[in-house]
């Protein structure tokens, strides 16, 4: 069993980790341990209680000054009980008071895991076991149900929380976070955040957790381009291959908060959940509120091992549906080939050229609907642009299919243009603060998806579109942050519910459309990677990684992404050179090597390629089709390199591997370079292609692979290793 309960001591075991907490004599839920698996141990002995000045004591502790919520390691800390650190739950009672004091009530253990109402969450298998622990505030009747779903073989614990009002009056939830981790043994720890901007997402920042608070957060109504809703906490000495590391990944796509705090006695607290700013939820008697899930993973073998555990889990238990585990079609997206300037004749010329190269899917990007010829109109009018298509959208689709290509399309369901039939019919459907001019971004505004009738209308529009022709792929975009936070459908006292209700509306629409059209390949996007999160991956098996298609810029973007998310879900395209975002010139081989990260495609006009480049593209597509399992699902190792970036993908049986190395520049008379590989079988002999070397796995692991002398801009080395 993965869950063991003995005398209110709760032990959760995965293959390589143990998580433990206890309900003490006072019913306080104390966190005891999370780390390397240790069987048959009660870690209560680790907690040392001492009298700390200005740390108050609960009334039932009597004269015991050592017992304080302010210093104990807790499973689910709340505001108003004398704990002055970051809390997970804060409420306002009908009389305006805010005190809470949660104590243990009961627990249950069962196979599988409960669904989270209206929210994406990890998917259980037959081996998943769950623990639910119920806490109750005796004065108000508020109860908290903590759920721990243990995926033992994948070394992941999925945490979630449900708040229930069993009292007789409504309570306002001011703050509901999903997870707390208290590291009560003082140690020098770092926090890894994934920050960025449009066209520069998920850069890695590793900072020491010092006294005060270190935060990553979004208040934008989306998980955002600017911070990712995931973090890694590790010791100062943790490297790619050694040391302890913990990951917390929020399965949510809206505004969020991740905060790490070093307290007065050098304990570290990490909390994760919905952003409390602009959040207030009125919970009526008998109602409940469910917070998003957090995925916890631990590694004692460095950051690389932690990433690989997350990759395996997300591929198996978040991504699901018809396209899970399958090779995605090699696509060509029309955006950088034509932008808004096209008609059906031009599109067919691009598609014809793409088909001749071996492309399998043609994707029509922005500009196909309403009267849209730029970004100033027609969002909300999801029917074909009659001025662009002589044969109509269904006719264009049939002609694309006749070329041997599948047909895909771009949509932006959450947005509206003032110059649209939808706005003229329903101006109150747009988010807008009363009496104030709305904030415009990219000449567009946001539909109030907290309202069920708007979700219903969008479902009907897109159902009609997707039923009108043979559409096999949909790119769902979202190109601005939310502002003007006011809904015409909510009373003043409930406007604080808007952002979360909006996100629930997005999820509801995604759920209905993916269920109605289960064979369509869905790819989500938000100005590139502005909602690259586990919540979106529940509905779409891939996400457009970034609008920046420059391969050198993508090295950093995709490396940062790889700390949490698997290669299979990374949308990556080969684009033109010079690159449209940076103006940088790079070799076609380099662009393809960087783009071969799972969901591979092109974003250029193939008719503009030279004859030699066309032959190269044909070979690239053939290579991807031949090696797609390694590219998308091979075990990923980020290798140490002094001069560039190197990554290795190894097959599950360790008989094949693909190495890619990109160096950012070259030096005259440079020192020799070697890459120590990882993940290979030391007992096997590997044929290294195209160099022809025959080397043992042990030699490659411990001695390394010599790199050739490298010259020119951004030199590339690729090697295939095959066990003999």
By annotation, the residues acting in catalysis are 533, 613
Q: Which two tokens stand for residue 613?
A: 């480049």
Distances (CA, A) of 698 to 17, 676, 679, 693, 703: 28, 10, 10, 14, 8
Collapsed DSSP state (helix, strand, coil) of residue 32: strand
Cα–Cα distance measured from residue 306 to residue 230, given in angstroms and rounded to the nearest whole number: 13
User: Are residues 532 and 227 in contact, defined by beta-carbon separation less than 8 angstroms?
Assistant: no
Phi, psi at 606, each rounded to 5°:
-65, -20
Rounded to whole angstroms, what are the CA distances from 513 to 194, 316, 381, 470? 30, 22, 18, 15
Please say whether the beta carbons of 183 and 337 come within 8 A. no
Contact partners, residue 595, CB within 8 Å, separation at least 6: 551, 554, 572, 573, 574, 601
Distance (Å, rounded) from C-alpha 335 to C-alpha 543? Answer: 16
Contacts of residue 251, Cβ cutoff 8 Å, sequence gap at least 6:
119, 120, 121, 122, 158, 292, 293, 294, 295, 318, 533, 534, 535, 538
Q: Is there a contact between 700 and 677 (Cβ–Cβ < 8 Å)?
A: yes
Cβ contacts of 711 within 8 Å, gap of 6 or more: 666
Contacts for 43 with CB less than 8 Å, ≥ 6 apart: 20, 32, 33
The helix/strand count (H/E) of the chain reads as 12, 38
Q: Which residues contact 426 (CB under 8 A, 6 or more apart)?
A: none
Nearest to 128 by CA among 104, 105, 107, 147: 147
Q: What is the dihedral of CA 439, 444, 450, 456, to 10 degrees?
A: 160
Nearest in space to 202 (alpha carbons), one of 307, 285, 347, 281: 307
Residue 114 DSSP label: -
CB atoms within 10 A of CB 655: 15
Q: Could you list the beta-strand ranges (E) of 306-403.
A: 331-333, 361-364
Helix residue ranges, H only, 384-451:
392-402, 421-425
Report yes or no: 217 and 229 within 8 Å, Cβ to Cβ. no
Q: Which of 191, 184, 185, 187 minimizes the C-alpha distance to 245?
A: 191
Neighbour count for residue 384 (Cβ, 10 Å) = 22
Structure tokens at 2: 């993965």
Q: In sequence order, which residues have a C-beta less than 8 Å from that of residue 526 and are 6 or more positions away?
A: 222, 225, 477, 478, 479, 532
Among all chains, which residue has been given the structure tokens 């800390």? 77
Beta-carbon contacts of 61 under 8 Å, excluding residues fewer than 6 positions away, are 26, 67
């Amino acid at each position: 069993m993965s869950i063991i309960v003995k005398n209110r001591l709760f032990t959760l075991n995965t293959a390589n980790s143990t998580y433990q907490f206890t309900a003490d004599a006072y019913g306080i839920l104390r966190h005891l341990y999370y780390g390397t698996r240790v069987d048959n141990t009660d870690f209560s002995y680790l907690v040392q209680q001492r009298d700390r000045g200005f740390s108050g004591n609960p009334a039932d502790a009597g004269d015991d000054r050592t017992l304080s919520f302010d210093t104990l390691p807790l499973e689910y800390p709340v505001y108003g009980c004398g704990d002055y650190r970051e809390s997970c739950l804060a409420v306002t009672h009908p009389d305006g008071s805010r005190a809470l004091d949660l104590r243990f009530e009961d627990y249950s253990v069962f196979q599988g895991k409960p669904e989270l109402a209206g929210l994406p969450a990890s998917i259980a298998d037959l081996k998943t076991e769950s623990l639910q622990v119920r806490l109750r505030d005796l004065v108000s009747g508020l109860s908290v149900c903590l759920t721990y779903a243990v995926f033992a073989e994948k070394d992941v614990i999925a945490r979630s929380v449900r708040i229930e009002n069993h009292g007789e009056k409504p309570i306002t939830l001011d703050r509901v976070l999903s997870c707390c981790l208290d590291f009560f043994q003082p140690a020098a720890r770092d926090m890894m955040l994934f920050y960025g901007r449009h066209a520069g997402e998920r850069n890695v920042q590793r900072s020491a957790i010092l006294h005060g608070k270190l935060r990553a957060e979004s208040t934008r109504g989306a998980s955002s381009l600017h911070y990712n809703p995931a973090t890694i906490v590790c010791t100062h000495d943790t490297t790619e291959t050694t040391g302890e590391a913990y990951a917390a990944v929020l399965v949510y796509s809206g505004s969020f908060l991740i905060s790490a705090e070093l307290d007065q006695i050098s304990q570290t607290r990490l909390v994760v959940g919905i952003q409390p700013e602009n959040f207030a939820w009125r919970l009526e008697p008998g109602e409940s509120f469910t917070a998003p899930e957090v995925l916890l993973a631990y590694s004692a073998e460095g950051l690389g091992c932690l990433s690989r555990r997350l990759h395996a889990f997300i591929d198996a238990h978040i991504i699901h549906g018809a396209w899970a585990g399958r090779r995605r079609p090699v696509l060509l997206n029309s955006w950088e080939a034509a932008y808004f300037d096209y008609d059906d004749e031009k599109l067919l010329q691009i598609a014809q050229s793409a088909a001749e190269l071996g492309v399998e899917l043609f994707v029509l990007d922005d500009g196909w609907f309403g009267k849209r010829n730029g970004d100033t109109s027609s969002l909300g009018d999801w029917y074909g642009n009659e001025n662009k298509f002589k044969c109509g959208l269904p006719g264009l689709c049939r002609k694309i299919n006749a070329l041997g290509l599948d047909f895909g399309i771009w949509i932006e369901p959450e947005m509206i243009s003032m110059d649209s039939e939808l706005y003229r019919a329903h101006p109150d459907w747009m988010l807008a603060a009363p009496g104030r001019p709305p904030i415009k971004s990219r000449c567009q505004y946001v539909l109030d998806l907290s309202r069920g009738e708007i979700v219903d209308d969008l479902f009907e529009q897109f159902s009609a579109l997707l039923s009108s022709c043979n559409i096999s792929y949909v790119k769902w975009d979202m190109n601005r942050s939310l502002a003007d936070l006011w809904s015409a459908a909510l009373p003043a006292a409930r406007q604080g519910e808007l952002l979360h209700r909006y996100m629930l509306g997005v999820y509801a629409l995604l759920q209905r459309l993916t269920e109605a059209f289960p064979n369509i390949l869905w790819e989500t996007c938000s100005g590139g990677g502005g909602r690259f999160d586990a919540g979106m991956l529940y509905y779409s098996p891939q996400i457009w990684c970034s609008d920046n298609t420059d391969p050198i810029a993508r090295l950093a973007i995709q490396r940062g992404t790889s700390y949490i998310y698997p290669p299979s879900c990374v949308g990556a395209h080969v684009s033109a050179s010079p690159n449209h975002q940076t103006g940088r010139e790079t070799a076609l081989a380099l662009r393809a090597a960087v783009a071969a990260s799972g969901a591979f495609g092109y974003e250029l006009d193939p008719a503009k390629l030279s004859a030699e480049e066309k032959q190269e593209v044909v070979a690239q597509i053939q290579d991807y089709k031949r090696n797609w399992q390694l590219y998308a699902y091979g075990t990923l190792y980020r290798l140490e390199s002094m001069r560039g970036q190197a990554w290795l993908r190894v097959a599950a049986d360790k008989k094949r591997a693909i190495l890619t190395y990109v160096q950012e520049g070259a030096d005259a008379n440079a020192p020799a370079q070697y890459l120590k590989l990882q993940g290979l079988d030391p007992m096997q002999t590997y044929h290294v292609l195209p160099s022809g070397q025959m080397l043992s796995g042990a030699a490659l692991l411990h001695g390394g692979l010599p790199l050739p002398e490298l010259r020119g801009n951004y030199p590339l080395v690729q090697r295939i290793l095959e066990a003999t």
